[in-house]
Each structure stands twice: as structure tokens, then as C-alpha cells.
Structure 1
């Protein structure tokens, strides 16, 4: 029996109207459409909080063939608005699989769109930029869908951080997962302790921090800088990590004000993705939106210090401005478009990267950055 349930109708803000098939949840959903070039890791992508508010178009044509399992979740649930694939494979084959992708999407109330020309969509996004769209399994009228889209908030108008951040602080003690032994590796003894500000942190980022020998307490996005400064002064923590997360960093005014206080206090900090962007804004350098963003597990980044090219995982629509070199040294650059991928601030114990150094679902060659954070806070 096929898991493809019914027709779905798609309307994009540039006027494109498409008919396809659906799997997963039935609904009428509005979100921003982006494309992802990863060859694997669709479950990690769908459960990455940074994709909140977005439809993810996969350039990999066959999706669903390895099923899903609890081990590969990057958070407690799926956060994307929906996934768009060329061909959905209902029949999965993997010894680690626990259920089908269709069952997973239904459980998390996420729409799947299939039997659609993803090459056409990807080229359109590349040429015209990321845009808003609406998809419905119940409404087929183009004008009605257009009206729904026009009356819905845009992704930059929504504070998705409040939806994905933890509501209470917790300790994270799990280390990285070994796919050779099929179990979590033993966590090393912590040589330092940090507070992780959760803007939508991925589980494997926390695993990598613990594996580097750092104790982790995850705290909500509505944190108090004064509390963290007090903890730093009494040596309860040795530094602060600013996580990845969804949406436009410029809307996070309260978070920016708290980060400014941490900067003034000279607390060692490390930011990834949204954290990288918030550090730039808090230093007085506003971010800008890229045309179609960087989304995928195969993006080349050059390490300026070593000269080596690292293949990285990426997931962002926003970037820091070039004139930030007035106060920071560029440590990494993106070889696709020469945008800034890493910074080390001149007069503060602070550094950040735009890409994701954790190996989930991307490669492992950037994971040394977590050890660099330990070295920074030990100094």
C-alpha cells in the first residue's frame, strides 16, 4: 500500500502554482522555501531547530529509503514546516530503522511533498532567492492560496527562538555516538564548565562539546547576563556558548542586549551559526540576508590559518558583514561566495563560526573547533 496520501497544491509568492502528491501530515501550511544539497541525513535536517518556519527542498532525489530512528534525532521533535522531495521511498531498508519517514512526519505533524520537480524549484530559488510559499492538501484554488499567503506573517516577522528554546535549564552529559560500536562513547572528565544558551541547539553540538572535555548546562534564550557574569566571577562557569537557531537574528533584541553585557564582562564565548551572527550584531555590525542561503552537508570552507579546505555542514540564510574586519580577524571563508565563515575578535576572548562543525549530518573535519574552545576558556 502506498504511503502517498493525496494531492497537494503549492503556491509560491512569485506566482508559481504547482500540483504534486503528499505524504506525512495533511494540512495547509505557510513557510519559507529553501533548498538543501546534502546527500544524506534527512532526519537530522528535519529535526534541526534551525529549520523552524521553512520548507526544505532536497536536491537528493530519493528520500525515505533508510527510514528513521530515535538515535538520529537532533532535538525532541521535527521543526521544519515541511519537506519537498522528488521521489519518496515508502519501502525503507536499514537495520537501524524503526519506522518510515511517512510515519515520522505524521507523528510530528509535518507535511511531505513529493512527485514534484525539485530541480526546477532549486534553480528557481537559486535565481530568485528564498521566498514564502503555502501548501495545502485541502485547498486547490490558486487565488485562495494566494490570499492565505498574503495574509500570513513572513519568516522574518516570527520569533521562532521562543518556540524552539528550552523552557528550563538542564545538564547535558551525553558524549558523541560511535557508529562503529553503536553506542555513546564515554564522556571524558570535564576540564571546564560552560553555559549553553539555547536558541535551538542541536543535540550533536552538545555531544561534541561534552566530548571535548567541557561540562554543559543548557539554559533558555531568556537568560540573564548578570546571573552568568556572577557565575563566571565565582568560577561556577568558565565560558558561554551561543547556539545555532532559526529565523532572523535582528529580531532578537532582548538577547542582543544580554550578549552585549557578556562582551563587556570579557567572558570567553564561542558562537555557532545564529550565535555567530548575534555576536556580530552585539558588537555593532548588523547581519544581512543572503539570496538563497547556505544549506547542505558538502560546502567548502577555507581555514585561513592552516590553508586547508574543510567540507562543512551549513544551514543559514543570514551572514555577517565584511566590514566586521575592523574589530575581528577572519578565520574561515566560504569558497562558494567568499562570505565570512569564522571570526576571532581582536580585544575579547571570543570567536565564532558560521558553519556547523559538529558531524551530524555533515563531515567531521571541523570538529577541532570544540577543542579550541576548551583551550580558550582554559587560558
Structure 2
């Protein structure tokens, strides 16, 4: 393993060892508290532009496989771990994590005190950092970091979104038979706008009874409205994705038109944030975000607590309760986790109901989308 040097914008300078891709990379550093699922995290497009610090100390021990890929690539800048295990042992493992990282140009950094690093981020908040296997001079790293664009200035959805439309017709993974369920007969057809969608979200939409057409982020809102009016589609899904939603101004204007057309819509994570902004309520950045598979969320209708998986740095403001019913709340910090907009067939959640940390606490949300579409279609 080569040596690698890390410099954080608060002045912290660390030395570790590298695996995966080598070189010099700049990104935002966050921490993730999940105990399992490192491959799903690394291949989640929402981590584009970020270094993920794992609080789980042993990473790489079960290898990787094709079935656990959440997208066609891995978009994170890098991962930071305490101990990396190149020799994996699992009956589903097909290759090492090191091989996956090299294939998709993701830097791996190990032999770092991730407990210390997590405390730094918890106290100081997420920040930009630079990592290099080529440069060991602190001042030179600082100079490069200061001259690099910040994550909130970069539109990463252009990089992670599909370049052409396609049909997704695969259900959820069945661990009992080690294969994906075929999609059940569809009850309605939707368009999923891909801002960096996770494959398992599409699987759950299909499993709920939807025919899913995935389209790129540079969609034509007029065409979607026309297709809806001609009854070619029954609803729209707004996906998760990376970066600051406030910079996506062209997307805001397009979603406003979809809202005005009263098309049934459902958003997850970035989609949840974009719906808020498009309704006139800008998002704000959390100190260190929510990243992990152990976040308790209370369903405000049933009062049940769901264990959820989360991955976001931004949140919608409390003032949005003027135009939307708050359906879910985060019990860690009381931030909004779900909304149902008044007088429109639109709802959204901030957490990830497809990630199954509970394991199925929030999967009902996909069924609610189907029920809303069918109810709205019957009224029309």
C-alpha cells in the first residue's frame, strides 16, 4: 500500500495508507454510521463528490458482488476506514473491494483513526478535504484545496444521471433464492426522473405494481405534461441524488410546471428537497448531515417509530407546514422526514424506504404512491 496524505479545510493533516485508486482528489468529507452495506453506500450516486468515513472499523471483509450494486458505477471521491480487509470471506463475495474501487476510480484510505475523524466532523461539521498519494506537503495540499470548487458549486446530477431513457422491470432481491423477483403485473405507469437514482428504489417501485420508465435529468416538462394529459403516464417519481439542490435552478422551474399540472408525484431525498424548493421553501444545510442505517423516524399518522436509512446534508424548513402536512419526523433532531402537500396529489420523504434497515419498516411508502395514483386516476 502507498502512503496517502489527508488535509481538511480546518487544518487537520493526517497520514494513512491507500488502496483502490491513487492520485489526488478533492471532495467533501462526511461520516456514515451504518454497520453493514459498504458496497451499497459506495455505489449510491448520492455520494458523488464526497469522501465517506465509515464508523464501522472493519471494511472489505465480505468482498463485493454484482447484486449489491446500487448503480452502474461508484461515484464517491473516496472512502476512509480504520481497517481494510483485502482478503474477503463470504459465499456471495466475487471480488475484493480494492478491485471495485480501482475499476471506478474511487480512492480508499485506511489506517486512519476514524473515531477521531468522526468526532471532528460531529463538532466542526462537514467540510472540504483533499487526499493525495502524490503530494505530502501540507501547504501545497492546502493551496490546491483552497483553489478547488466546493461541492455546493458543482452540479453532479449531470454526471450520475442516465444519458437515455430505459424501462426498469425488475422487482426486489429475494435472499432466499439469491435472485431478483420479476416485476408483478403493473397497475399504473410512471416516469422516474433520474437525478442519481438507486437501483433498489426502482426495484421497489416495480414490486409495488408500477411500470417504470427512467428518464434523464434534462427532461422536457412540457412533454411529460402532454403524456400525462394523454393518459400515457399516471405519475412521476423524483429520485435521490447528490449535491446542493439550491443550485439546480432549471430543475426548480420544470418541477413548478409539473406541480401546476397536478400530476401525482412522489419524491425521495433530493426529490423531496426539490419539491420543497419548487413550492417556494428553500432548503438549508445541516451541520454534519444524516448518513447511516439507524435513524429513528416517527410516522406522525400512526405514531409508530421506523428505523430508517438516510443520506443527506440538506433539509426542508419547518415553515413548509403552511402548505403541507408533516407526515414523518426525525427523532434525533426533530427535522422533517416526510410531507404530504395540501390539495395536490404530491408527497415525499427525506429518508430511504428502499434501504430496509428495519428491515421493512418504511416499504409501505411505495404502496402509498400506487394507492394515490389509482385514487387520483379514478377521480379524473
TM class, shorter-length: over 0.9
Choose from 74, 77, 88 the match for 1:78.
74
Aligned partner of residue 182 in structure 2, secondary structure: coil
**CA distance in 1: counterparts of 2:140 and 2:301, whole angstroms:** 54
1:322 aligns with 2:310: no
* Equivalent residue, structure 2, for 1:150: 146
Return the offset for 1:183: 1.0
Alpha-carbon deviations, 1:228-284, whole Å to 9, x = none? Answer: 111111111000000000000000011111100000000000000000000000000
Q: What stretches of structure 1 move > 6 A for 4+ residues in a row?
A: none
Choose from 23, 43, 50 the match for 1:47.
43
Choose from 303, 306, 313 the match for 1:307.
303
Q: Is the 8 A contact 1:45 1:361 kept in 2?
A: no
* Equivalent residue, structure 1, for 2:238: 242
* Equivalent residue, structure 1, for 2:127: 131
1:165 aligns with 2:161: yes
* Equivalent residue, structure 1, for 2:218: 222
Q: Is the 8 A contact 1:31 1:154 kept in 2?
A: yes
User: Aligned pair count?
Assistant: 375
**CA distance in 1: counterparts of 2:34 and 2:357, whole angstroms:** 8
Aligned CA RMSD, in angstroms, stands at 0.8
**CA distance in 1: counterparts of 2:127 and 2:358, whole angstroms:** 25
Structure 1: give runs of 5+ residues left out of the alignment: none
Structure 2: give runs of 5+ residues left out of the alignment: 376-380
Q: Is the 8 A contact 1:40 1:361 kept in 2?
A: no
**CA distance in 2: counterparts of 1:140 and 1:360, whole angstroms:** 41
Choose from 20, 32, 37 the match for 2:16.
20
Return the offset for 1:363: 3.0
**CA distance in 2: counterparts of 1:272 and 1:374, whole angstroms:** 15
**CA distance in 1: counterparts of 2:72 and 2:52, whole angstroms:** 19
Choose from 336, 341, 348 the match for 1:340.
336
1:264 aligns with 2:260: yes
Q: Is the 8 A contact 2:294 2:357 kept in 1?
A: no
* Equivalent residue, structure 1, for 2:291: 295
1:251 aligns with 2:261: no
* Equivalent residue, structure 2, for 1:192: 188
**CA distance in 2: counterparts of 1:232 and 1:6, whole angstroms:** 55
Return the offset for 1:187: 1.4
Q: Is the 8 A contact 1:297 1:363 kept in 2?
A: no
* Equivalent residue, structure 1, for 2:32: 36
Q: Is the 8 A contact 1:299 1:314 kept in 2?
A: yes
1:112 aligns with 2:108: yes
Q: Is the 8 A contact 2:299 2:329 kept in 1?
A: yes
Q: Is the 8 A contact 1:170 1:217 kept in 2?
A: yes
User: When the two structures are superposed, what TM-score results if normalisation uses the length of structure 1?
Assistant: 0.98
Return the offset for 1:68: 0.3
Choose from 84, 88, 96 the match for 1:88.
84
Distance 1:73 1:361, change over 3 A: farther
* Equivalent residue, structure 2, for 1:202: 198
Alpha-carbon deviations, 1:8-56, whole Å to 9, x = none? Answer: 0000000000011111111100000000000000000000000000000
1:375 aligns with 2:368: no
**CA distance in 2: counterparts of 1:56 and 1:361, whole angstroms:** 19
**CA distance in 2: counterparts of 1:65 and 1:276, whole angstroms:** 34
Return the offset for 1:361: 6.5
Alpha-carbon deviations, 1:320-377, whole Å to 9, x = none? Answer: 0000000000000000000000000012100000000003677321010000000000
